[in-house]
């Protein structure tokens, strides 16, 4: 079993829908949680970063961390065709100088106009 | 501010050859990490360089090596290429490599082994 599990999709939604993307993990030591977006033929770009539990909002994006359930989510409100991409979750146990993030395999999202 | 630049964007090699990939980080960033991305395994950490020293290493064979120059530019070398080395190789830079500092990725080098 992988340390981080992420449904690969593909997920297809109509424009304007609320999208929910999720990752589960097994290592209770994870404290830093990130969501990256990767467009086709591009490198990942950081969308959201959260520390420990709780919610964080940035525009149309909300990241949630539930450490008791070992579950993180990314919500996209009013989804747009430009949100069509692969979304990767990543997490790390500490803020030290080891950048050995553990990555999910990514969920492919298509937002249809 | 220029982003992370990786060259070349595409490479085609044959088994047994070697290859060198290049990464220019964002100006001022001292940490450079390399990743291999494949559909089946996702992003896998290769190694990280900071101030010209390899600070961390993933679980890849010794055929994979790298270095960092005094201007923080980094190169990755793969020797004796195998078919399984076909992948997208990504470089990411950050200020000092801490988990609370965002990594900025280049667009990668797509390596195909024939």
pLDDT digits (tens, 9 = 90+) for B9-26: 999 999 999 999 999 999
Task: Quote the pLDDT of residue A109.
Answer: 97
Task: Quote the pLDDT of residue A100.
Answer: 67
Q: Which of A45, A97, A103 sits opposite B43 (nearest CB)?
A: A103
Chain A residue with CA closest to B40: the answer is A105
Q: Cβ of A27 under 8 Å from any chain B Cβ? A: no
A4 pLDDT above the threshold of 80: yes
The band of A97, judged by pLDDT with boundaries at 50, 70 and 90, is: low
Contact A43 B4 (CB under 8 A): yes
Look at B77 and A32; give whichever has higher pLDDT: B77
Residue with tokens 């999709």: A9
A65: nearest Cα among A98, A88, A32? A32
Average pLDDT for B93-111: 87
Contact B99 A99 (CB under 8 A): yes
3-class SS at B85? helix
What is the C-alpha separation between B34 and A101, in angstroms, rounded? 12
What is the C-alpha separation between A17 and A4, in angstroms, rounded? 26
Task: Quote the pLDDT of residue A21.
Answer: 97
Q: How far is A62 from chain B (nearest CA, A)?
A: 18
A73: nearest Cα among A6, A1, A3? A6
Task: Quote the pLDDT of residue A96.
Answer: 63
Chain B residues contacting A via beta carbons under 8 Å? 4, 6, 31, 33, 41-45, 48, 50, 55-56, 58, 90, 92, 94, 96-100, 102-108
Q: Which of A32, A90, A100 sits opposite B56 (nearest CB)?
A: A100
Question: Of A99, A101, A103, A105, which to mutate for an interface test with B (greatest number of B Cβ within 10 Å)?
Answer: A99
Q: Cβ of A47 under 8 Å from any chain B Cβ? A: no
Average pLDDT for A25-38: 93
Cβ neighbourhood burial of A101 (10 Å; 0-12, 13-18, 19+) = buried
Question: To the nearest whole percent, how much of chain B has pLDDT over 90?
Answer: 82
A95 pLDDT above the threshold of 90: no
- DSSP string of A80-108, one letter each residue: -GGG-EEEEEEEES-SSS----EE---EE
Six-digit token string for B6? 């990786």
Chain A residue with CA closest to B94: the answer is A99
Task: Quote the pLDDT of residue B34.
Answer: 96
Average pLDDT for A1-26: 93
| Cβ-proximal residues to A71 (8 Å cutoff; 6+ apart), any chain | A22, A23, A24, A25, A65
Q: How far is A112 from chain B (nearest CA, A)?
A: 24
Average pLDDT for A92-101: 68
């Amino acid at each position: 079993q992988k340390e981080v599990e992420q449904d690969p999709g593909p997920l297809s939604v109509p424009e304007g829908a609320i999208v929910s993307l999720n990752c589960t993990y097994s290592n209770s030591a994870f404290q830093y949680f990130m969501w990256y977006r990767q467009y086709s033929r591009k490198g990942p770009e950081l969308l959201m970063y959260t520390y420990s539990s709780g919610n964080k909002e940035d525009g149309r994006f909300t990241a949630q961390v539930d450490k008791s359930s070992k579950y993180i989510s990314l919500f996209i409100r009013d989804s747009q065709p430009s949100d069509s991409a692969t979304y990767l979750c990543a997490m790390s146990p500490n803020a030290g100088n080891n950048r050995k993030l553990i990555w999910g395999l990514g969920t492919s999202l298509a937002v249809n106009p | 501010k220029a982003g992370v630049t990786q060259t070349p964007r595409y490479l085609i090699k044959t088994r047994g050859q070697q290859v060198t990939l290049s990464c220019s980080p964002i100006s001022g960033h001292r940490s450079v990490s390399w990743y291999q991305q494949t559909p089946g395994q996702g992003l896998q950490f290769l190694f990280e360089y900071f101030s010209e020293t390899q600070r961390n290493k993933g679980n890849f064979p010794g055929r994979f090596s790298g270095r960092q120059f005094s201007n923080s530019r980094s190169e990755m070398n793969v020797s004796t290429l195998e078919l399984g080395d076909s992948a997208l190789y990504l470089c990411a830079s950050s200020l000092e490599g801490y988990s609370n500092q965002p990594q900025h990725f280049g667009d990668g080098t797509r390596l195909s082994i024939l």
